[in-house]
Amino acid sequence: MPILVNGERVDDALIRQEAQMVKARLLEADLDDDPLAIEMRAWEWARENVIEKVLLQQAAQETGQRVEELVAKLTAKVAAPKKKDVVEHYRKHRDSFYAPEMVHAAHIVKNVDERSDESSALETIQAIQQELLDGKPFEEVADRRSDCPGRGGDLGFFQRGQMVQEFENIVFSMKPGEVSSIFRSPFGFHIAKMYERKAEGVRDLTDVRSEIEEHLIQRRKETCIEQFVDGLRARADIRKA
């Protein structure tokens, strides 16, 4: 049923659209609820979300601002978290900072596809291997001769399950600084270099400090907006259309 927010009509279609997004998040959270309960909860949350958005839009219009400008002003004085707040959050949520084993690697690849058959790709990668054996820097050769150039072939850090199995089997068995022999994957022929390994376990506070600070600042901003909207709602005229 449509509602009026300070005389502004909000149709069911808008709430229904919001409800679909809320429902998707509820399903993603894998809550142990029956479908009807999820539908009802999604509709209730969507209705409240839409009302809050309308109230914010009305408040912004009254002061000749865009919603983004109003939100920026409301949250401008939100203070950065203190060191003790960051440490406390880390201690309380330590398990959430668990990370699996990861490696930092780079590669040179010669693809096997309709443009390059297996024999020519193998011949090329063997020539590339010889350049490396002759002392040419891996990164320079990667940028010049790989079918996936750029950043010296650097793939950054990754965990198991993010690359094809053949690639992972080689790279995760290597030592830091080691350059592999030529090996095959579904994409073609590779030569990999492993730079660094991070063992599985809870990440150090120093590694996640900025992440925690950003999270705490965002949460404080959300609280600031919620308090402002609560004040708008207390004075608002909200009724069925």
For 5-19, write each residue's pLDDT tens digit: 999 999 889 999 999
With b for 16 or more beta-carbon neighbours within 10 A and e for fewer, the 46-80 pattern comes to bbeebbbbbbbebbbeeeeeeeeebbeebbeebee
Give the residue numbers spanning the domain of 17.
3-94+208-240
For position 31, what pLDDT does the model report?
65
Q: Pick 78 or 36 by higher pLDDT.
A: 78
74 lies in the same domain as 28: yes
Same-domain check for residues 112 and 162: yes
Segment 91-115 shows an average pLDDT of 95
Q: How confident is the model at residue 219 (pLDDT cuts 50, 70, 90)?
A: very high
For residue 199, what is the DSSP state?
-
**Does residue 32 sit in the same domain as residue 117?**
no
- Flag whether pLDDT at 81 surpasses 90: yes
For residue 241, the model assigns a pLDDT of 81
Please state the rounded mean pLDDT for residues 75-102: 96
| Reported confidence tier of residue 32, pLDDT bands at 50, 70, 90 | low
Q: Do 82 and 25 belong to one domain?
A: yes
Could you give the CA distance from residue 154 to residue 161 in angstroms, rounded to a whole number? 18
191 and 221 belong to one structural domain = no
Q: From 102, 97, 104, select the one nearest 205 (Cα to Cα).
A: 97
82 and 163 share one domain: no
* Number of domains present in the structure of the chain: 2
| Same domain for 68 and 106 | no
Instruction: Residue count of the chain, please give it.
Output: 241
Determine the pLDDT at residue 109: 98
Q: Which of 166, 181, 199 is the last residue of a domain?
A: 199
pLDDT of residue 189: 98
pLDDT above 90 coverage of the chain, percent:
87
Please determine, for residue 76, whether its predicted confidence score (pLDDT) is greater than 90.
Answer: yes
Q: What is the per-residue pLDDT for 232?
A: 97
Looking at residue 126, which CATH number applies to its domain?
3.10.50.40
Domain identity same for 46 and 120: no
- Identify which has the larger pLDDT, 83 or 1: 83
| 83 and 173, same domain (yes or no) | no
Q: What is the pLDDT of residue 114?
A: 80
Quote the CA–CA distance of 182 and 166 in Å, as a whole number: 12
Same domain membership, residue 185 and residue 152: yes
Residue 185 has pLDDT above 90, yes or no: yes
Is the domain of 114 the same as that of 154? yes
**172 has pLDDT over 80:** yes
Q: Is the pLDDT of residue 74 over 70?
A: yes
Across the range 210-228, mean pLDDT stands at: 97
Q: Is the pLDDT of residue 176 over 70?
A: yes
83 shares its domain with 109:
no
